[in-house]
A and B are shown apart, each in its own frame.
Chain A
Amino acid sequence: MTSQTQLLDRPLPAEIDTVADLEAYLNAALRLEHATIPPYLTALYSLHPGTNSDARHVIRVVAVEEMLHLTLVANVMNAIGRRVDLTADDFVPAYPAHLPSGETDFLVSVQPFSPAAVTTFLNIERPAKAPSEGRRLLPYSDDLGAGTVLAASPLNPGVRFYSIGEFYAEIDRGLRHLDHEYRQRGEELFSGDPAWQVTEEYFYSGGGEVVPVTDLASALRALTLIAEQGEGLGGGIYDGEGELSHYYRFEQIQLARYYQKGDVAARPSGPRLDVDFSAVYPVAIDTELADYPAGTPAFEAAETFSRTYADFLAYLTAAYHGQPHQLLDAVAWMFRLRDDMNRLIRNPFPGRPGVHASPVFGRGPLERS
Chain B
Amino acid sequence: MSLDDFVAFSSEVTGFTEFDLLGTGQAQSYRDTVAGVVGEQGLAELLSAYRREVTELSDEQLRAEQLTRSVLGDPRLGPLARNIIKLWYCGVWFGLPGHEDTFTASPQAYPQGLLWYAIGANPPGARAPGYGSWAGPPRIPALPASPIPRSLTRNPSAG
* Interfacial residues, chain A to chain B (CB-CB below 8 A): 48-50, 204, 297-298, 301, 328-329, 331-336, 339, 342-344, 346-348
Tell me the total A-B contact number using a CB cutoff of 8 A: 51
Q: Provide the residues of chain A in CB contact with B150, threshold 8 Å.
A: 297
A342 adjacent to B23 (CB under 8 Å): yes
B25 adjacent to A342 (CB under 8 Å): yes
Known: A49-B108, A297-B17, A297-B18. A332 touches B133 (CB 8 A): yes
Would you call B107 an interface residue if the criterion is a C-beta within 8 Å of the partner chain's C-beta atoms? yes
Known: A49-B108, A50-B106. A344 touches B130 (CB 8 A): no
B25 adjacent to A346 (CB under 8 Å): yes
Known: A49-B108, A50-B106. A347 touches B22 (CB 8 A): yes
Q: CA–CA, A50 to B24, complex, Å?
A: 12
Q: CA–CA, A219 to B20, complex, Å?
A: 46
Interface centre among A50, A301, A336 (most CB of B within 10 A): A50
Q: CA–CA, A329 to B130, complex, Å?
A: 8
- CB contacts under 8 Å to A, within B104-159, are 106-108, 112, 127-133, 136, 139, 150
A4 to chain B, nearest CB (A): 45
B22 adjacent to A346 (CB under 8 Å): yes
By beta carbon, the residue of chain B nearest A297 is B19
Q: CA–CA, A343 to B19, complex, Å?
A: 8
Q: Provide the residues of chain B in CB contact with A334, threshold 8 Å.
A: 130
Q: Provide the residues of chain A in CB contact with B108, threshold 8 Å.
A: 49-50
User: What 1/0 flags go to B49-62 for Cβ under 8 Å of A?
Assistant: 00000000000000
A235 to chain B, nearest CB (A): 36
Q: CA–CA, A343 to B17, complex, Å?
A: 12
A335 adjacent to B19 (CB under 8 Å): no
- In the assembled complex, 29 residue pairs joining A and B whose CB atoms fall closer than 8 Å, in A order, are A48-B25, A49-B25, A49-B112, A50-B107, A50-B108, A204-B131, A297-B17, A297-B18, A297-B150, A301-B23, A328-B131, A329-B132, A331-B131, A331-B133, A332-B129, A332-B132, A333-B130, A334-B130, A335-B127, A335-B128, A335-B130, A335-B133, A339-B127, A342-B25, A343-B19, A343-B24, A346-B23, A347-B19, A347-B23
B129 adjacent to A335 (CB under 8 Å): yes
A343 adjacent to B20 (CB under 8 Å): yes
Q: CA–CA, A94 to B5, complex, Å?
A: 38
B24 adjacent to A346 (CB under 8 Å): yes
Main secondary structure of the interface of A (DSSP, over half): helix
Known: A298-B19, A301-B19, A347-B23. A332 touches B130 (CB 8 A): yes
Q: Provide the residues of chain B in CB contact with A339, threshold 8 Å.
A: 127
Interface centre among B22, B108, B127, B132 (most CB of A within 10 A): B22
Q: Provide the residues of chain B in CB contact with A343, threshold 8 Å.
A: 19-20, 23-24
A46 to chain B, nearest CB (A): 11
Q: CA–CA, A336 to B25, complex, Å?
A: 17
Q: Provide the residues of chain B in CB contact with A335, threshold 8 Å.
A: 127-130, 133
A301 to chain B, nearest CB (A): 7
Interface centre among A297, A329, A348 (most CB of B within 10 A): A297
A49 to chain B, nearest CB (A): 5
Q: Provide the residues of chain A in CB contact with B106, threshold 8 Å.
A: 50
B22 to chain A, nearest CB (A): 5
Q: Provide the residues of chain B in CB contact with A344, threshold 8 Å.
A: 23
Q: Provide the residues of chain A in CB contact with B139, threshold 8 Å.
A: 336
By beta carbon, the residue of chain B nearest A301 is B19
Q: Provide the residues of chain A in CB contact with B133, threshold 8 Å.
A: 329, 331-332, 335
Q: CA–CA, A347 to B16, complex, Å?
A: 14
Q: Provide the residues of chain B in CB contact with A348, threshold 8 Å.
A: 22
A328 adjacent to B18 (CB under 8 Å): no
Q: CA–CA, A118 to B136, complex, Å?
A: 38
Interface centre among B18, B112, B133 (most CB of A within 10 A): B133
Q: CA–CA, A297 to B128, complex, Å?
A: 26
Q: Provide the residues of chain B in CB contact with A49, threshold 8 Å.
A: 25, 108, 112
A303 to chain B, nearest CB (A): 13
Q: CA–CA, A48 to B130, complex, Å?
A: 22
Q: CA–CA, A336 to B24, complex, Å?
A: 14
Q: Provide the residues of chain A in CB contact with B24, threshold 8 Å.
A: 343, 346
